[in-house]
Amino acid sequence: MIPTIGMVADVTMRKNSFADYITDDVSEAIKKAGGLPIIFPTSDSKYAEDFLSKCDGMAFLGGPDVDPTLYDEEPIPELGYTYRQKDELELELVRQAYAAGKAIFGICRGIQVINVGLGGTVYQDFPSQSDRKVLKHFQAAPLSVTSHHVNVMAGSHLEKIMGDYPMVNSHHHEAVKDLGNDLKVTARAADDCVEAIESMNSDQLLAVQWHPECLYTKYPEHDALFTDFVNRVKKRMQDVDAV
């Protein structure tokens, strides 16, 4: 059976409302890796359990900034637009998926949502809140090309997938600050910005700050992130069946 991968649709801001949408990039990358994407609309968080019951693994994707009041901070002027209903749904999906033992993958905003969902915080604007000189994390070039290196922790799951010094693209201004529960940092940029996190003692969770869905057709190491995710989903499905 093809493993099903749940994803909440991205959202765009209209004049008086928000609209859900999904780009082909992530869906195609997951299908190429052997998974079947299922797209969930932004809905009340009370539907999280029902959504989760439809999928074998969860991917958390890019999108708007995370509402800082959800991790006990007030918004600073540099914060971008937020959508609290989307945050609340995804945070609940993070908590329930993690508790259920489902494999999880995060991309860009996804790494931030995962971290907050498990008790952490984020920089609302890393360039202005960092105490050191920062790299250009919002590249002017298309996301189909890479822009800077990341240093990957030796012995991490990510190192097995991508090596110790891969090039990535970059399209963000928020970033992981205080780590959530049972998480570890496994990659940083040269300015110390967190670029990847993993679950502490298992391969259940991996999240990256960049956009591998824009690179997977040209760069095998980014394609390998999706293959690894689907394989992690399959492994956990087999573990459940064996019980």
**Residues comprising the chain, all counted:** 243
Q: Which is catalytic among the residues 55, 92, 213, 222?
A: 213
User: Are the beta carbons of 77 and 178 closer than 8 angstroms?
Assistant: no
Query: Is 214 a residue of the active site?
Result: no
Query: Is 193 a residue of the active site?
Result: no
User: Are the beta carbons of 161 and 114 closer than 8 angstroms?
Assistant: no
Q: What whole-number distance in Å separates Cα of residue 83 and Cα of residue 216?
A: 28
Q: Which is catalytic among the residues 137, 172, 173, 211?
A: 211
Q: What whole-number distance in Å separates Cα of residue 112 and Cα of residue 175?
A: 7
Tokens coding 130: 């960092």
User: Are the beta carbons of 188 and 176 closer than 8 angstroms?
Assistant: no
Q: Which is catalytic among the residues 55, 88, 92, 108?
A: 108
Give how far Cα 22 sits from Cα of 42, 63, 88, 158, 216, Å: 12, 10, 19, 26, 17
Q: What whole-number distance in Å separates Cα of residue 168 and Cα of residue 166?
A: 6
- Comparing CA positions, the residue from 84, 109, 91 lying closest to residue 207 is 109
Give how far Cα 207 sits from Cα of 19, 60, 69, 94, 126, Å: 25, 9, 22, 12, 18
* Phi, then psi, of 185 in degrees rounded to 5: -80, 130
Tokens coding 185: 């940092």
Residues assigned a catalytic role: 108, 211, 213
